[in-house]
Amino acid sequence: MRIGTVSIHLEDKEASELCRPGAGADTCIWLVMGQDGWECLYYNRAEGRNLLGETLEEKWKAGNTVAKRDGCDEVKQFGDDISFIVLEKIKKFHAHLDICEQCRNHPFGLCSEGALLLKDAGEPTIKRR
């Protein structure tokens, strides 16, 4: 179960403007190409281990990344909003548990509404300003 992590997906244009892949040290270290395209791991930095069991953050701190830039203003400005949004969504899920006997008693067999709320708490969508 993952509650409280935030994934940020980027369009090609956004990735090339904000993350600058291929720009050497000016490339953002948190940009990765995932199954759904470009993804920013700024708020998920402890995730995604490579085959050596190392996270991107560990690799970066050890100086083993070509890219060196630690995020961008665009993604940093989400900071407070993200914790707020995630907290609100977790609260919504917990409020549902208070009224739904099935979800309370069957954490692995959530009702459809409970499952949606939990998924949403794990993957909140944040709009760019």
Residue 7 CB, nearest approach to Zn ion (Å): 24
Q: Which of residues 67-106 bind Zn ion (CB under 5 A)?
A: 100, 103
The piece of 6-14, 35-43, 49-57, 108-116 that touches Zn ion (CB under 5 A) is 108-116
Give one DSSP letter per residue of 14-68, joined into a string: HIIIII-TTSGGGSBTTEEEETTEEEE-GGGTT----TTS--HHHHHHTT--S--
Candidate residues 10, 41, 67, 114; the one interacting with Zn ion per rule CB under 5 A: 114
Question: Of 90 and 103, which has the nearer Cβ to Zn ion?
Answer: 103
Q: Which of 67, 71, 49 is nearest to 58 (CA)?
A: 49
Question: Of 36 and 98, which has the nearer Cβ to Zn ion?
Answer: 98
85's CB contacts (< 8 A; 6+ apart) are 124, 126
Candidate residues 18, 85, 111, 126; the one interacting with Zn ion per rule CB under 5 A: 111
Q: Which of 46, 45, 38 is nearest to 19 (CA)?
A: 38
The piece of 18-26, 29-37, 52-60, 112-120 that touches Zn ion (CB under 5 A) is 112-120
Interface ranges with Zn ion (CB under 5 A):
100, 103, 111, 114
